Amino acid sequence: MGESSTPHNKTVKLADVARAAGVSQGTVSNVFNRPGLVSEQLRERVEEAARSLGYRGPDPRGRLLRAGRVNAIGVVTIGPLNGFFDDQYTRLFLSGVARACEARGAGISLVSATDDEIAAWNIRTALVDGFILNCLNEGNTLVELAKKRGLPFVAVDFPVGPGFDVVRIDDYRGARQAAQHLVDLGHRHFAVFTFETEKEVRVGFVDDVRAVRSSFEVVRRRLSGYRDAFRAAGLPPQPVFETGSEYDGVCTGVDAVLAANPDTTAFVCTSDRVALHVMTYLRSLGRKVPDDFSVVGFDGIEEAASFSPSLTTIRQPGIGKGEAAVELILGDKPDGAGGRVVELPIELVVGESTAPPRKGQAA
């Protein structure tokens, strides 16, 4: 192929550049692929014609497609690109992807789904052998675009229907285990803090309808696990607050919860990041963990263990998820492969952030 295009410009072909420069198509091809065979004056003329037309060079897809494999994977995530590096859990996941790709000599293309138009363009045109779709919200149009590409893809932590590969953990069991740990310690008054329930964060208390209808499978299953643990203990529904993942939202949540229910003794958080924000803000208020409040997280990031006090959390294999997703795309595929589900183990890690409520606190 000898063409170049952008989302907003018509396709410019190698022949168009040749015509504009008054040379043969072979000369244009040499300028871009074997410039040493072309005189400097002629090369500059062709390059100027290419720039004026917006032509960036021969499309490498033709050569790559003839080879049958690009040896690269596209990783798509719901958050901004900096989230690949700023969020500790996502960083662990991406580390697993990178390890597995490096072992196979494959490259990685990162795609953020925060801008649907740009992400759609990247999915339609990315030179990859397949996609890893990480924590997208259900119904996301990018899933349909990935299907239309006809390339293999793996959904991580959300369902995409029969016939497609999935890597996941049992979020419901992990959440229920975390809540049960606090119940067993004697806590009876909780606040559940969750990251965004929809693509757009709405900081505030979450009613049952929003919790049940969240377009994120992870959110629904974790909230369901907490809810069922409380119900099995004979407790009434506990308040759920959508904080998002940022510190300001968590501060707002702590203030709102303690104003509405001063008897609260434990915070149950859908991620370690949220839980660590809770502990940091409580400390700024002069409140102690676990003396005044117990806090439990979910993910098992490195900072959960190094924080003081260390965080009780549900550890999931972030690196293992990334490695498993790459293996499903680049590994050997049995006849009729598709619809494979890889469920990885989780474990409760008891740190220093949880303890029985102190005497005198409401039971």
Residue 252's identity, in one-letter code, is T
Peptide bond into 60 cis (omega under 30): no
CB 242 within 8 Å of CB 197: yes
Residue 140 in domain: yes
Q: Same structural domain for residues 123 and 91?
A: yes
Q: Same structural domain for residues 202 and 308?
A: yes
Q: Same structural domain for residues 189 and 296?
A: yes
Q: Say which residue the tokens 């779709």 belong to.
A: 133
Give the domain CATH number at 10. 1.10.260.40
Rounded to an integer, what distance in angstroms lies between the CA atom of residue 247 and that of residue 204? 14
Q: Same structural domain for residues 184 and 55?
A: no
Q: Same structural domain for residues 243 and 305?
A: yes
Q: Same structural domain for residues 134 and 208?
A: no
> Is pTM, for the whole model, over 0.85?
no
Q: Same structural domain for residues 291 and 195?
A: yes
Domain assignment of residue 185, given as a range = 171-315
Question: What is the Cβ-side half-sphere exposure of residue 339, based on CA atoms within 13 angstroms?
Answer: 5
Residue 279 in domain: yes
Beta bridge pairs of residue 348: 314
Tens of pLDDT along 227-262?
Answer: 999 999 999 999 999 999 999 999 999 999 999 999
What confidence score (pLDDT) does residue 5 get? 46
Q: Same structural domain for residues 304 and 200?
A: yes
Residue 122 in domain: yes
Long-range contacts of 104-107 (CB under 8 A, 24+ apart): 104/71, 104/326, 104/330, 105/71, 106/71, 106/72, 106/73, 106/326, 106/330, 107/71, 107/72, 107/73
Give the domain CATH number at 237. 3.40.50.2300
Residue 266 in domain: yes
Q: Same structural domain for residues 152 and 78?
A: yes
Residue 32 in domain: yes
Tens of pLDDT along 87-114?
Answer: 889 899 999 999 999 999 999 988 887 7
Residue 36 in domain: yes
H-type alpha helices, 196-301: 208-212, 217-232, 247-260, 272-284
Tens of pLDDT along 132-172?
Answer: 998 776 666 778 878 877 888 899 998 887 888 999 999 99
CB 76 within 8 Å of CB 83: no
Rounded to an integer, what distance in angstroms lies between the CA atom of residue 296 and that of residue 352? 10
Q: Which residues contact 103 (CB under 8 A, 6 or more apart)?
A: none
With a cut of 50, list the residues of the chain below it in pLDDT: 1, 5-9, 64-65, 67
Q: Same structural domain for residues 306 and 324?
A: no
According to DSSP, residue 74 is labeled E
Q: Which of 8, 334, 318, 13 is nearest to 169 (CA)?
A: 318
Q: Same structural domain for residues 298 and 208?
A: yes
Count of domains for the chain = 3
Residue 307 in domain: yes
Residue 39 in domain: yes
What confidence score (pLDDT) does residue 188 get? 97
Q: Same structural domain for residues 160 and 285?
A: no
